[in-house]
Amino acid sequence: MASSLSFSKLSLLLLFASFSFSYATSRFSHHPAYPTQTSKAEKLIRSLNLFPKEPFNSIEGDHEGFVPGKIVEKKFSFLGDSGPSVEDLGHHAGYYSLPHSKAARMFYFLFESRSSKDDPVVVWLTGGPGCGSELALFYENGPFHITNNLSLTWNQYGWDQASNIIFVDQPTGTGFSYSSDINDLRSDETGVSIDLYDFLQEFFKSHPELVKNDFYITGESYAGHYIPAIASRINQQNKMKHGIHINLKGIAIGNGYTYPAIQYLAYPQFALENGLITKKEADDISKLIPHCEEAAKICESHGGVTCENAYDSCEEIFDRILTIDADINYYDIRKKCVGALCYDFSNVEKLLNQENVKSALGVGKGLKFVSCSTAVYDVLRQDAIKNLAVGIPGLLEDGIKVLVYAGEKDLICNWIGNLMWVHAMNWPGQKAFAASPTVKFVVDGAEAGSLNSFGPLSFLKVHDAGHLVPMDQPKVALQMLKSWMGGKLINAPADD
């Protein structure tokens, strides 16, 4: 949420590096002659201290030998002989050749649970759009953290403590995922969700021991678009008894960008309540809201370029706030950006572009890790403003649990905007959820957040956290996951 600058920001979360890629008949150019939108994306990326050398992973002539629908997976060990053996840990990395593509290969990690292989299977999707899942893996909820000398240490609050977790680089062009054909870039959630569904079908064929396990989809930021789309596809395919039945039990969206037309309306209120702007400034900025709302309606009915126009119109609201407080860290308002940098995630690029690491993961020498791709970002611009909350009521009505959580210090996908779209959903429990009491979410005897819930729907505001809840509050995030999957987050505060 926020101009191209924001979108990336937002994507953000993705937060992460960007690039440009192009071909003759598109807005891309082989030599990044960044247009205005891409320039903002590049600026955003630099705020994360990410400077990828490649705009998009592409290998010429890679059509040869492409076998659609095939998974190639291998075990690996980053930590060598320290700690448990790789056999005990069950760490895997692989490529899946997407059947609905010319030559696209989707990269993923699988970390088996440190507790039990019978634990749920959790998929994590990083946002952007176009940011690699490795950003979350190494800085948020994966098994490891990266030290300054590029060695790895165990993350005691990694989500593999309670699940078999999959980190996916998607859509095509993200992270280590690549293609030799620019047409394999996805421009909407239909294409994104088809690729993810195809991958999950083949993944469970390759890991039949996990088919019986409960299955959850989680992610942050622009994953607020991805998650409802893939969850709805899985639910519908399960109902039609197509393919392997995926035991979908719930979805969790963290500081999501899900229903933008509503979420943009919350910016002036959030900024005012947190002292970022004055009452007069909030009133002036709020005058932009009707134009945003009208443009979003036109997008929903007409699609195409009207959606890009709507995105730009709504982004003015966010950008106006940034002109007032230019050095604010819009992912965590407690922090100021020092110089151009708000965060430093550069070590993930340094680590993953080492040849010995790529070899261990089965990544070819010709590929570079792309933290965040401006090519993916740009091609999804018409998708950005669309309402993806529209599919969630159907999930709720089918008993699939939905958790929306948000760090209270995030501006770009703030908790007020997220709660607004949650309240706006039309489903049988809408009024009961609105009337639900707000209770404390307690971890280790301390209040860690505030919770509202009714039936399968829960909303959790996380204290002392910004956009990246598992990074800012790792213990709380892991307890949240455990409590939610265990059915203990619904009606009472958790303290297991």
Closest to 451 (Cα-Cα) out of 406, 385, 399: 406
3-state secondary structure at position 312: helix
Question: In angstroms, rounded to a whole number, what is the distance separating the alpha carbons of residues 127 and 395?
Answer: 21
C-alpha triplet 158, 164, 167: angle, nearest 5°: 70
Classify residue 122 as left (phi > 0), alpha (psi -120 to 50) or beta. beta
In a domain, 280, yes or no: no
Q: Is residue 274 part of a domain?
A: no
**Boundaries of domain holding 371:** 9-258+348-485
pLDDT-derived band at 219 (thresholds 50, 70, 90) equals: very high
315 in any annotated domain: no
Q: How far apart are CA 46 and CA 356, in angstroms?
A: 27
Span 115-134, average pLDDT: 94
**pLDDT > 70? residue 328:** yes
Is residue 304 in a domain? no
Q: How far is CA 114 from each of CA 117, 155, 161, 296, rounded to the nearest angstrom?
A: 8, 12, 5, 45
* Least-confidence region, from 175-189, 205-219, 306-320: 175-189
- Which residues are identified as catalytic? 221, 410, 467
Integer angstrom CA distances of residue 326 from 181, 318, 347, 352? 39, 11, 26, 32
Q: What is the CATH number of the domain that holds 373?
A: 3.40.50.1820
Torsion sign, CA atoms 73, 75, 79, 83 = positive
What's the whole-number mean pLDDT along residues 333-345?
A: 76
Q: Could you tell me if residue 289 is inside a domain?
A: no
Number of domains in the chain: 1
φ, ψ dihedrals at 164, nearest 5°: -90, 110
Q: Looking at the predicted structure, is the pLDDT value of residue 251 above 70?
A: yes
Which of 131-145, 286-300, 364-378 is the least confident region? Answer: 364-378
> Would residue 334 count as lying in a domain?
no
Amino acid at 75: K
DSSP of 27-58, one letter per residue? Answer: S--SS----HHHHHHHHHHHTTT---S-SS--
321 lies in some domain: no
Report pLDDT for 336: 80
Percent of the chain, pLDDT > 70? 82
Instruction: Assess if residue 105 is contained within a domain.
Output: yes
Which of 440, 402, 399 is CA-nearest to residue 421?
402
Closest CA to 421 of 257, 234, 184: 257
pLDDT in tens, 398-444: 999 999 999 999 999 999 999 999 999 999 999 999 999 999 999 99
Contact 13, 125 (CB under 8 A): no
- Structural tokens at position 236: 């519908």
The H or E element containing residue 417 is: helix 415-424
pTM of the model: 0.88
